[in-house]
Amino acid sequence: MTSLETPVITGTRSNAPVKKRKGGYGSLGRLSRGDRIAVSLMLGVPTLLVLWLVWVPAVLSVVLSFASWQGIGGIDTIRWIGFENYKNVFTNYPPFAPALEHNVIWLAMLFVLATPLGVFLAVLLDKEMKGGRFYQSALFLPVVLSLALVGFMWQLIYSQDQGLLNAVTGSKIDWYGDPKVNLWAVLVATCWRQTGYVMLLYLAGLKAVDPSLREAAKVDGASETQTFFRVVLPVMRPINIVVLVITFIEALRAFDIVWVVNKGRNGLELISTLVTSNIIGEASRIGFGSALATIMLAISSVFVALYLRIALREDKA
Amino acid sequence: MPKPESQEHYLASLVPPSARAGVTRRGLLKGAAGTGAALSMSGLLSACGGGSSSGAGGSAGGKPTGTVTFGSNASDAPPKKAFAEVFAAFTAAKKVKTKVNTVDHNTFQEQINNYLQGNPDDVFTWFAGYRMRFFAAQGLVGDISDVWKTIGPDFSDSFKQASTGDDGKQYFVPIYNYPWVLMYRKSLWADRGYQPPKTMDELTTLATTMKKDGLSPIAFADKDGWPAMGTFDILNMRTNGYDFHVSLMAGKESWQDAKVKQVFDTWKGLLPYHQEGSLGRTWQEAAQGLVKKQSGMYLLGTFASQQFTGADLDDLDFVAFPEVASEHGQDSIDAPIDGLMMSKSPKNEAGAKALLTYVASAEAENIYLKTDHGDVGANKNVDTSKYNAVQKKSAEIIGSTKNIAQFLDRDTRPDFASTVIIPALQDFIKNPSDIDGLTSSIEKQKKSIFVA
Q: Judge contact between B297 and B217, C-beta under 8 A.
A: yes
Contact B414 A282 (CB under 8 A): yes
Least CB-CB distance to B112: which of A161, A178, A282? A282
pLDDT: which is higher, B209 or A305? B209
If phi > 0 it is left, if psi is from -120 to 50 it is alpha, else beta; for residue B411 that is alpha
pLDDT: which is higher, A291 or B79? A291
The pLDDT value recorded for residue A104 is 92
Contact A56 B4 (CB under 8 A): yes
The dihedrals phi and psi of A160, each to the nearest 5 degrees, come to: -65, -45
What is B4-176+337-381's CATH superfamily? Periplasmic binding protein-like II (3.40.190.10)
The dihedrals phi and psi of B31, each to the nearest 5 degrees, come to: -60, -45
Average pLDDT of the residues of chain B: 84
What's the mean pLDDT in B319-334?
94
Least CB-CB distance to A279: which of B2, B111, B451? B2
* Region of poorest pLDDT, from B128-132, B191-195, B439-443: B128-132
Per-residue three-class SS string for chain A: CHHHHHHHHHHHHHHHHHHHCCCCCCCHHHCCHHHHHHHHHHHHHHHHHHHHHHHHHHHHHHHHCCEECCCCCCHHHCEECCCHHHHHHHHCCCCHHHHHHHHHHHHHHHHHHHHHHHHHHHHHHCCCCCCHHHHHHHHHHHHHCCHHHHHHHHHHHHCCCCCHHHHHHCCCCCCCCCCCCHHHHHHHHHHHHHHHHHHHHHHHHHHCCCHHHHHHHHHCCCCHHHHHHHHHHHHCHHHHHHHHHHHHHHHHCCCHHHHHHHCCCCCCCCHHHHHHHHHCCCCCCHHHHHHHHHHHHHHHHHHHHHHHHHHHHHHHC
- The CATH number assigned to the domain holding A206 equals 1.10.3720.10
Angle formed at CA B7 by CA B6 and CA B13, multiple of 5 degrees: 85
Distance from CA of A267 to the nearest CA of B (A): 10
Which residue numbers in chain A have pLDDT < 70?
Answer: 1-29, 314-317
Helix (H) or strand (E) holding B86: helix B77-94
What is B180-334+404-449's CATH superfamily? Periplasmic binding protein-like II (3.40.190.10)
pLDDT at B35 over 50: no
Number of domains in chain A: 1
Assign B62 a pLDDT band (cuts: 50, 70, 90).
Answer: low
Here the ipTM equals: 0.76
Using CA atoms, how far apart are residues B414 and B225, in angstroms rounded to an integer? Answer: 13
Residue A74 resides in a domain: no
Candidates B60, B144, B74; CA nearest to B103 is B74
pLDDT: which is higher, B22 or B358? B358
Using CA atoms, how far apart are residues B159 and B172, in angstroms rounded to an integer? Answer: 10
Residue A303 resides in a domain: no
Using CB atoms within 10 Å of the CB of residue B384, give its burial: 0 to 12 exposed, 13 to 18 middle, 19+ buried.
middle
Assign B281 a pLDDT band (cuts: 50, 70, 90).
Answer: confident
Q: Judge contact between A273 and A252, C-beta under 8 A.
A: no
The pLDDT value recorded for residue B280 is 85
Question: Which amino acid belongs to residue A113?
Answer: L
pLDDT at B332 over 80: yes
Structural domain of A214: 95-284
Using CA atoms, how far apart are residues B391 and B375, in angstroms rounded to an integer? Answer: 6
Contact B422 A282 (CB under 8 A): no
The pLDDT value recorded for residue B39 is 35
Contact A61 B444 (CB under 8 A): no
Number of C-beta neighbours around residue B133 at 10 A: 18
The pLDDT value recorded for residue A178 is 85
Q: Judge contact between B409 and B226, C-beta under 8 A.
A: yes
C-alpha pair distances (Å), A119 with each of A122, A218, A225, A231, B314: 5, 21, 14, 15, 60
String of DSSP letters for B57-80: -STTTS---SEEEEEE---SHHHH
- What are the residue ranges of CATH 3.40.190.10 in chain B? 4-176+337-381, 180-334+404-449
Using CA atoms, how far apart are residues B237 and B179, in angstroms rounded to an integer? Answer: 14
List Cβ neighbours of B404 (8 Å cut-off, separation of 6 or more): B158, B162, B177, B332, B333, B334, B335, B398
pLDDT: which is higher, B322 or A153? B322
With b for 16 or more beta-carbon neighbours within 10 A and e for fewer, the B209-230 pattern comes to ebeeeebbbbbbbbbebbbbbb
Assign B441 a pLDDT band (cuts: 50, 70, 90).
Answer: very high
Residue A14 resides in a domain: no
Contact A60 B451 (CB under 8 A): no
The pLDDT value recorded for residue B195 is 94
Distance from CA of A179 to the nearest CA of B (A): 8
pLDDT tens sequence across A247-290: 888 888 889 889 888 888 888 999 999 999 898 877 788 899 99
pLDDT at B228 over 50: yes
pLDDT: which is higher, A260 or B57? A260
Is the minimum CB–CB distance between A76 and chain B shorter than 8 Å? no
Residue A174 resides in a domain: yes
Using CA atoms, how far apart are residues A155 and A261, in angstroms rounded to an integer? Answer: 8
Is the minimum CB–CB distance between A95 and chain B shorter than 8 Å? yes
Residue A72 resides in a domain: no
Distance from CA of A291 to the nearest CA of B (A): 10
pLDDT at B16 over 90: no
Q: How many whole angstroms from its chain centre is CA B390?
A: 18
The pLDDT value recorded for residue B452 is 56
The dihedrals phi and psi of B127, each to the nearest 5 degrees, come to: -120, 155
* Region of poorest pLDDT, from B2-11, B36-45, B216-225, B377-386: B36-45
Number of C-beta neighbours around residue B66 at 10 A: 11
